[in-house]
Amino acid sequence: MAEEESKPVPAGEKSLVKAGKVSQWLAENEFAHESLELDHNGVEVIKVEPDFLLPLSTALYAYGFNYLQCQCGIDLGAGQQLVSMYHLIKVSDNADRPEEVRLKVFLPRENPRVPSVYWIWKTADWQERESFDMYGIVYEGHPNLKRLLMPEDWVGWPLRKDYISPDFYELQDAY
């Protein structure tokens, strides 16, 4: 039996990822998602389609994930997808090690759009604005989606891996 467990996965075959506690709960309640490998800290990672982000997020909030610690954008590389990532935590009294989960929404590079979770977790406000400003991810339903770090007339998305920095930017109305 021990020999079977130690056999390497043949090239080209995808190894199955064991569903974590949150993924199992989501599956029991019929929420569409996919379990990804645990991150380097052992936090469960769940892939969600953009259309299912709001219902799944609402369910996770009701399940106890009441704190959005981090929302950020990720660029997988020039010509590849963008990712909107959400790190959720169950904050409660007397919790030595609160439960954590990460949601990842993979988006097309051209016209990346995903619903805003601002109405579930207010901490998403400036975090979604930063992802919009740096990666060009549009958060539909966000109450004030505009540039946060760059000037309003800036062209492009500075943290995309295929971004080309302009040689010169003239400040308008600097005085």
pLDDT tens, position by position, 94-132 = 778 899 999 999 999 999 999 999 999 999 999 999 999
Cα separation, 43 vs 45, in Å, equals 6
Reading phi first (left if > 0) and then psi (alpha if -120 to 50, else beta), residue 66 is in alpha
Note whether 19 and 26 are within 8 A (CB).
Answer: no
- Token pair for 14: 């995808």
Correct CATH for 21-162 of 3.30.460.80, 3.50.50.60, 3.40.50.960, 3.40.250.10: 3.30.460.80
More confident residue, 65 or 175: 65
Note whether 7 and 75 are within 8 A (CB).
Answer: no
Domain ranges of the chain: 21-162
pLDDT tens, position by position, 13-47 = 555 667 789 999 999 999 999 999 999 999 999 99
- Token pair for 71: 């929302």
Note whether 128 and 116 are within 8 A (CB).
Answer: yes
pTM of the model: 0.84
Sign of the torsion angle spanned by Cα atoms 93, 95, 96, 100: negative
Residue with tokens 């998305």: 157
Percentage, residues of the chain above pLDDT 90 = 73
Note whether 108 and 81 are within 8 A (CB).
Answer: yes
Note whether 79 and 88 are within 8 A (CB).
Answer: no
Give strand ranges (E) for 76-119.
Answer: 82-89, 100-107, 113-115
